[in-house]
Amino acid sequence: MEIEEYRELDEIKFELHDLLKELAIKTGLGYISDDYTETIEFDLGDINIISDNYYHDLKIITDEGEIDLNHNLEIAKKILEEVQKRSEEYEKKTTGKRKNDAEEIFEKDFKIEK
């Protein structure tokens, strides 16, 4: 890989890590370690994505084994694109419901008795 490809891969790894962290928090899916590494494990269909932001490590686990993505720009791009696509789909499906739930909870009258 060329230097520019490694730079692009680094950007993808950071973006994917942040997106996975956001999704794990929003959805309750996945796992975020509570140590200094903030390693995230997130299932995407039949693969398990493992992103370690501290050591800047990205890999996936499939039925066939582990694939190190630290030198594989094309697969990393495809995974980021798929996670983004599913994240957008999740947002579209849940935005209205969350707004309705929030309104139901926070717009109830609050009466202070004197």
Asked whether residue 12 carries a pLDDT value surpassing 90, the answer given is yes
What pTM was computed for the model? 0.83
CA-CA distance, 34 to 25, in Å (whole number)? 13
| Residue range 49-63, pLDDT digits in tens | 999 989 999 999 999
Element containing residue 49 per DSSP (H, E): strand 47-52
Q: Where is pLDDT greater, at 87 or 109?
A: 87
Kindly state the DSSP code that residue 4 receives in the 8-state scheme.
H
Q: Measuring CA to CA, which residue among 36, 46, 38 is closest to residue 21? A: 38
Mean pLDDT (whole number) for 4-15: 95
**Average pLDDT of span 58-77:** 94
Residues across the chain: 114
What mean pLDDT is predicted for residues 77-88? 95
Say if residues 12 and 73 touch (Cβ distance below 8 Å): yes
Question: What is the overall mean pLDDT for the chain?
Answer: 91
